[in-house]
């Protein structure tokens, strides 16, 4: 038997545990205790279902379990795929007491969660994230949704899960590039709210890349603790939760200008964090530490070549919306972030213009 760690996301009556450990899908954790009704629908995709569905199903024994398979990829994070899930729930006569289980990365979690939020005005939901990014970020906090052709995550809802079950063994099959992309969000937590964790990452990056189980478990646990704290303080992003978007204003612009999917989200955020640190004007030694850690994770420290006007348009700052004040998440030192609309406009122009 393997030990597991439990972190609670404190949200009053909507509180829930994040359970982290090895072998949790292989029978080391009784998921059925979180499935209150008689039936349960596991949403997964073409890649993850063949790897892990059989491992998960015996843990929900005693319930009427059906699986729903969706196509793999960000391109399928759409209203159409959500419709497919709703159609299957309806055709199987799923009741109000059904539980939707998301088995997969952030794409599966976001769509399945949104379907759970909408079906019969909201049914129970369990996250079983299988990418590092989903384990440290997207499965925690209750943001669910799908993309629209005009932009990412434009349609969605807040819908907290009942349980987040993280079996770190699932990372064994994750592609190297996806692992590195997930590490960008891990670095982000250190940079915005935990200087001690940042230093730990500096000392343990190679172990993480080598998929050392103890190192990965610690990084996932600390990331979830930090995200849980921020979410508990500000569930619907009225204020502090916005610091989780550190590096994301630049990162989203990179994703948009390159065409979504060219750079992975974590890769774009990695370069975006270095740019945001530069915009913050923190001491150069701290900027260098962030750049070095990003590089050590094998992630880009520079954005791709993008013209200044394209940067501005992608960040919603083109001439048409000049009055709109963009907010940035900046650092006052490594480990301390804040949001502001009062940033150094000249430095911003240098950062994006110099790369025209
Ligand atoms: N809801 C939130 O708060 C939040 C936060 C951050 C990101 N997101 C969303 O998350 C999505 C990105 O998530 P992602 O990075 O997990 O991408 P993803 O879900 O596309 O997964 C990446 C790839 O890895 C595959 N995969 C998943 N688990 C695997 C495993 N164990 N072994 C082998 N392959 C595996 C997937 O099928 C996919 O091909 C984006 O849509 C983003 O908008 C949401
Ligand atoms: Zn992100």
85 CA distance to ligand 2 centroid (A)? 25
- Cβ(4) to ligand 1 under 6 A? no
Nearest CA to ligand 1 atom 21: 105
Give me the mean pLDDT over the 57-75 stretch: 92
pLDDT score of 353 = 84
* Residue 76: pLDDT over 50: yes
- 88-96: average pLDDT: 96
The whole-number average pLDDT for the span 143-163 is 93
Please state the atom number of ligand 1 nearest to the C-alpha of residue 266.
15
Tell me, using a 6 A CB cutoff, whether residue 168 lines ligand 1: no
Ligand 1: does its nearest atom lie under 6 Å from the Cβ of 105? yes
Which residue, among 188, 292, 199, has the nearest Cα to 250 in the 3D structure? 188
DSSP assignment of 68-95: EEE--SGGG-SHHHHHHHHHHHHHTT--
Whether 348 has a pLDDT exceeding 70, the answer reads yes
Name the least confident of 110-114, 165-169, 347-351.
Answer: 347-351
Beta strands in 27-142 (DSSP E): 39-45, 64-70, 99-104, 124-129
CA 15 to chain centre: 19
Distance CA 89, CA 178 (A): 31
Atom of ligand 1 nearest to the CA of 264: 15
Name which of 170, 43, 63 is nearest 115 in CA terms.
Answer: 43
Q: Ligand 1: which residue has its CA nearest to atom 3?
A: 138
- Summarize pLDDT for 188-222 with one digit per residue, the tens: 999 999 999 999 999 999 999 999 999 999 999 99
Residue closest by Cα to atom 41 of ligand 1: 107
Q: How far is the CA of 107 from the centre of ligand 1 (A)?
A: 5
pLDDT at 356: 40
**pLDDT of res. 318:** 60
Share of the chain above pLDDT 70, in %: 96
Q: Which of 14-18, 82-86, 311-315 has the lowest mean pLDDT?
A: 311-315
Mean pLDDT of the chain: 93
Q: Is the CB of 85 under 6 A from ligand 1?
A: no
Ligand 1: centre distance to CA 129 (Å): 8
Cα–Cα–Cα angle for 225, 169, 137, rounded to 5 degrees: 35
**321-343 mean pLDDT:** 87
DSSP characters for 286-323? Answer: HHHHHHHHHHHTT--SSPPP--HHHHHHHTT-SGGGTT
Q: Which ligand is nearest to the CA of 185?
A: 2
Strands 16-21 and 4-9, sheet pairing:
antiparallel
Q: What percent of the chain has pLDDT over 90?
A: 85
Distance CA 311, CA 316 (A): 9
Enzyme catalytic residues: 121, 143, 185, 227, 237, 241, 245, 248, 252, 265
pLDDT at 355: 46
Is residue 354 scored above 50 in pLDDT?
no
Q: Which mutation among 138, 141, 184 tests ligand 1's pocket best, with the greatest number of atoms within 8 A of CB?
A: 138
List, for residues 293-327, the tens digit of each pLDDT value: 999 999 999 999 999 989 988 888 665 555 567 88
């Amino acid at each position: 038997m393997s030990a597991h760690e439990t972190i609670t996301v404190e949200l009053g009556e909507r509180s829930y545990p994040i359970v982290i450990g090895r072998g949790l899908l292989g029978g080391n954790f009784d998921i059925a205790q979180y499935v209150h009704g008689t039936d349960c629908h596991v949403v997964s995709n073409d890649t993850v279902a063949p790897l892990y569905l059989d491992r998960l199903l015996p843990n929900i024994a005693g319930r009427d379990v059906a699986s729903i398979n969706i196509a793999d990829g960000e391109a399928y994070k759409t209203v159409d795929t959500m419709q497919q899930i709703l159609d299957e729930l309806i055709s199987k006569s799923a009741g109000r007491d059904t539980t939707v289980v998301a088995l997969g990365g952030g794409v599966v979690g976001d769509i399945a969660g949104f379907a759970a939020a909408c079906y019969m005005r909201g049914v129970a939901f369990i996250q079983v994230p299988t990418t590092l990014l989903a384990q440290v970020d997207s499965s925690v906090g209750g943001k669910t949704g799908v993309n629209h052709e005009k932009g990412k995550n434009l349609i969605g809802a807040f819908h907290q899960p009942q349980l987040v079950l993280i079996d770190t063994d699932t990372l064994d099959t994750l592609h190297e590039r996806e692992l590195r992309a997930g590490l960008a969000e891990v670095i982000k937590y250190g940079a915005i709210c935990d200087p001690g964790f940042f230093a730990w990452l500096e000392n343990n990056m190679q172990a993480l890349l080598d998929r050392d189980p103890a190192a990965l478990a610690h990084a996932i646990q600390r990331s979830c603790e930090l995200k849980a704290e921020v979410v508990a303080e500000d569930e619907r992003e009225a204020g502090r939760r916005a610091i989780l978007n550190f590096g994301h204003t630049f990162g989203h612009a990179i994703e948009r200008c390159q065409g979504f999917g060219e750079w992975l989200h974590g890769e774009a955020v990695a370069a975006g964090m270095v740019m945001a640190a530069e915009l913050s004007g923190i001491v150069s030694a701290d900027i260098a530490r962030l750049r070095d850690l990003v590089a050590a994770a094998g992630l880009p420290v520079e954005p791709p070549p993008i013209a200044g006007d394209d940067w501005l348009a992608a960040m919603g700052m083109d001439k048409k919306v000049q009055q709109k004040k963009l907010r940035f998440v900046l650092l006052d030192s490594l480990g301390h972030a804040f949001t502001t609309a009062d940033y150094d406009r000249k430095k911003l122009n240098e950062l994006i213009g110099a790369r025209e």
